Amino acid sequence: MKFLSYINEEWVTSVKQYKRLSNIFVNPNSKELKEIEKKSWGGQVRFLADFKEKKLYVWSSELIHYTAIVALADENLLSSEDFDIVAKYCVPGIGIIIGNKIKFEEFYDGATQRQLKNVVWRKKDDKWLSRNFTEPFLKTAEKLIGELP
């Protein structure tokens, strides 16, 4: 059933950073995005789009990417906590919630053009992300890569 792959949302884990608890969701639905938005600064969210597993991890802007990546690796949801390895098949980004979708605004601070230039995910299908993003994901990613230092 192809449809089921688009409705597979769930809570993944909670992470404590700076005495605050943040939830990480996989393929979040609109209700979960609203929950994340309440804990975020100005509706900003952080995410990791895993093209290998076709999973979108989303959490509030309070939690930094590194801490989320380590937590996901600890849960065996990512193969490594090393960003150079993760970046080959995952897109680390920052967006803002608009309505019930995310507008992809930038790569997270640690991502560099060198890391993102020849990665596997640039050649993959992004239709599985259309449910969560306001614009075609890879088209936006390519534009943002061109803007990186």
pLDDT at 9: 47
pLDDT at 104: 94
Those residues of the chain that have pLDDT short of 70 are 1-21, 109-120, 148-149
Domain borders along the chain are: 3-147
pLDDT at 115: 64
pTM: 0.82
Phi, psi at 87, each rounded to 5°: -65, -15
Contact (CB, 8 A) for 45 and 28: no
DSSP secondary structure code for residue 62 in this structure: T
Q: What is the pLDDT of residues 86-99, one digit of tens each?
A: 777 888 899 999 98
Average pLDDT, the chain: 80
* Cα 58 to Cα 87: distance, rounded to the nearest angstrom: 16
